[in-house]
Amino acid sequence: MEKYVEWQNLEEMGMWKRFLVAFLLATIAVVPCLPVQGVPVFIPAPPPDDHGQNAWPVYDIQACYDPGSGLIRGDLLLAGQGQLTQFNIPANAPYGAGAHLTVQGVWCDGQPVPWDLQGDCLQVTSEETQYTKILHISFQTQVPQKANRLGCTGETSVLAGWYPLLSPAGARVAEVPYGEPYFAEAAIYRVQLTVPCGYQVVAGSSLTGVGHDGDTRTWHFHSQHPIREFACVVSKDWQVTETRAGHVRLRAYADQARTASLATAKKALSFFQTIYGSYPYEYLHLVWVPLGDLAGMEYPGLILLNSTRVTDPQVVVHEVAHQWWYNLVGSDSCREAWIDEGLAEYSTRLFFGGHALAGAGPAPINLSLEEYKNRAAYRLVVYRSGLAFWCQAEQACGRQGLQDVLRALQERYRFQIVRGEEVLEYLRQYGLPAEVEMKFFPVSEAEADLR
């Protein structure tokens, strides 16, 4: 049967053509890549970032997913510079809750290279170089039958953490099922996901087209700008509600109209753009799925909300805030969750106009995920004490002063990863007292002497 691309509308077709032209102009060369499934593939060298500091890695993923068996067969083509040697495999960590990823082969610039997959870490042997190189990883992922961030429930599959993810500076996946046990550098994504006809795919990227071939459909996505990872939902029979906030099209996908939640997300998006800076993407998708004991979960351009619960507007706002604090500005969610989670809570408080300071939890907020021992302890400290820290920072720096700090962080670290010490240094310049810092970030006597 003839293959063709079904453009959603002329507006999207125009957007894709404009982006493609801009993307190609931003690259010096088009680099030939190893063929996938017998089709020659070309992937552009990564363009410079928006601040002219880095060359972004480019993930080009071509995968087929069978919801019936839960099996993903995929090929990951990664174009990048420097160390492309360590990959995190969230599917094989406690996060995956029974998922399992295997690797069939690894090639660098078309040549096979040694590799070693041990649990949730894939090590690849390739030389570091200042020039762009192409890494090809062939993999398969078994998705478990479970309401999870990587799981299938009935006809709905949530796919997050389903492919090898380049490790940021050697950071490993935390060995816990709660929190956000992995994080990533920002990258450009191009993804083609093939699923059986009758299924739809909603992703944290822009849909550029849908190709038909017999009894399957291939959904084509592009991230437009760097994002932390690519997550998507595969399901049937959504009811779609849509609105716009300036250049951003917001869509809600659920079994019923979700106009109230969509309106809340629209207001939050506009509010956070005012205080933190622009939201660069043209899409933001809200999808209701079974999520077990999670109320919601954030991904770049994609917000998951638990379809088995009544949707709390505060959860919607919290997840929208994560588009700035997790995606646009990244942080180490395994060891410094007080940054993204604390700021998402503080941002929610700002949106709803709250003034009461939250009570601090029983432990320091600068612990690793493993040190919290369980989900309840993690949530008590990271969310409640994290909010308390930012409230006390506001009290010390003034609300406008703190907003100046947060806006400066967004401008300086957009598409980067900010470290906790860098955040604290900004706050110190605006008057954060040592006693507040010591309360939430206690140190040993030796460390105190060094300060």
CA 303 to centroid of chain Cα atoms: 10
Identify which has the larger pLDDT, 221 or 11.
Answer: 221
Check if the beta carbon of residue 219 is closer than 8 Å to that of residue 195.
Answer: yes
Question: CATH for 238-323?
Answer: 3.30.2010.30
By DSSP bridging, strand 71-80 and strand 200-203 are unpaired
| The pLDDT of residue 180 | 95
Task: Sketch the domain layout of the chain as residue ranges.
Answer: 4-233, 238-323, 328-451
CA–CA separation, 359 and 382 (whole Å) = 12
> Looking at the predicted structure, is the pLDDT value of residue 254 above 60?
yes
Mean of the pLDDT values across residues 33-48? 34
| The pLDDT of residue 357 | 57
CA 136 to centroid of chain Cα atoms: 22
| The pLDDT of residue 449 | 43
CA–CA separation, 304 and 383 (whole Å) = 19
Which top CATH class is 4-233? mainly beta
Name, in order, each residue with C-beta under 8 angstroms of 329's C-beta and a sequence gap of 6 or more.
Answer: 409, 410, 413, 414, 416, 418
Question: For a pLDDT cut of 70, what percent of the chain falls above it?
Answer: 83
> Looking at the predicted structure, is the pLDDT value of residue 442 above 50?
yes
pLDDT tens digits along 396-438? 999 999 999 999 999 999 999 999 999 999 999 999 999 888 8
| The pLDDT of residue 55 | 78
Q: Specify the long-range contacts of residues 294-300, CB closer than 8 Å, at least 24 apart.
A: 294/149, 297/149, 297/160, 298/322, 298/323, 298/326, 298/327, 298/344, 299/160, 299/204, 299/228, 299/229, 299/231, 299/327, 300/204, 300/205, 300/223, 300/227, 300/228, 300/229, 300/230, 300/231, 300/327
Identify which has the larger pLDDT, 209 or 21.
Answer: 209
pLDDT confidence band for 8 (50 / 70 / 90): very low
pLDDT tens digits along 82-114? 878 999 999 999 999 999 999 999 999 999 999
AA identity, residue 384? R
CA–CA separation, 158 and 78 (whole Å) = 23
Q: For the chain, give the number of residues.
A: 451
| The pLDDT of residue 128 | 62
CA 443 to centroid of chain Cα atoms: 31
| The pLDDT of residue 290 | 96
> Looking at the predicted structure, is the pLDDT value of residue 291 above 90?
yes
CA 308 to centroid of chain Cα atoms: 23
Between 228-232, 237-241, 415-419, the lowest mean confidence (pLDDT) is in 237-241
pLDDT confidence band for 256 (50 / 70 / 90): confident
pLDDT tens digits along 155-213? 999 999 999 999 998 899 999 999 999 999 999 999 999 999 999 999 999 999 999 99
pLDDT confidence band for 218 (50 / 70 / 90): very high
Q: How far is CA 19 from CA 14, 30, 73, 401, in A?
A: 9, 16, 28, 37
Which top CATH class is 328-451? mainly alpha
Name, in order, each residue with C-beta under 8 angstroms of 445's C-beta and a sequence gap of 6 or more.
Answer: none
| The pLDDT of residue 443 | 61
Mean of the pLDDT values across residues 283-306? 97
Q: Do domains 4-233 and 238-323 have the same CATH topology?
A: no
Mean pLDDT score across all residues of the chain: 86
pLDDT confidence band for 54 (50 / 70 / 90): low
pLDDT tens digits along 108-132? 999 999 999 999 999 998 776 667 8
CA–CA separation, 23 and 129 (whole Å) = 23
pLDDT tens digits along 57-68? 999 999 999 999
Q: Of 34, 54, 37, 55, which Cα lies nearest the Cα of 45?
A: 55
Tokens of 94: 């406690």
CA–CA separation, 365 and 338 (whole Å) = 6
The dihedral through the CA atoms of 173, 177, 179, 180 has a sign that is: positive
